[in-house]
Amino acid sequence: MIARVTSKVENIAIDCANAYRLALFWSEVTGQPLHPEDQPGDKETEVMLPGGPALYFNEVPEPKSVKNRVHLCLRPDTSREAEVERLLGLGASLVDDRRKPDGWGWVVLADPEGNEFCMLLAESERAALSS
């Protein structure tokens, strides 16, 4: 029998201009802490996600210039609408509204440095729409 070799996703790297500040934003988004050793001014920081890869923020000299080819899709504990409003209050910006009249769809947001991410329906909303 041939042994199967795999790789584990250790982190999701996000290039940015200010690693600590952007990690603080994502810490608020996810409700998860920064790595305990991270400090203001660090060029690399992490948000520790339970049971999964960390969000790793790495300072780079060049600004973001095009649409992300990889992005995060988030599913809220509350409603999609409430979470969109909360994240806009934290400093996210609205990029594209893909909500449909029947309730399905998603919202494309950007973090304070312009990295796009999507807000999906909560599981309870999906269940209600599927009934």
Mean of per-residue pLDDT scores for the chain? 95
- The domain in which residue 15 lies consists of 10-61
The answer on 57 and 110 residing in a single domain is no
Cβ neighbours of residue 128 under 8 Å, at least 6 residues apart?
A: none
Decide if 66 is inside a domain. no
What are the tens digits of pLDDT across the range 107-129?
Answer: 999 999 999 999 999 999 999 99
What CATH number corresponds to the domain at position 101?
3.10.180.10
Decide if 2 is inside a domain. no
Cα-Cα-Cα-Cα torsion 24, 22, 118, 70, nearest 10 degrees, comes to -130
pLDDT at 22 over 90: yes
The tally of domains found in the chain comes to 2
Closest by CA position to 75, among listed 20, 22, 127: 127
- b (16+ CB within 10 A) / e for 44-58: ebbbbeeeeebbbbe
Q: What is the pLDDT of residue 40?
A: 97
Q: Can you say how many angstroms the Cα of residue 21 is from the centroid of all Cα atoms in its chain?
A: 14
Confidence of residue 71 (pLDDT cuts 50, 70, 90): very high
What CATH number corresponds to the domain at position 36?
3.30.720
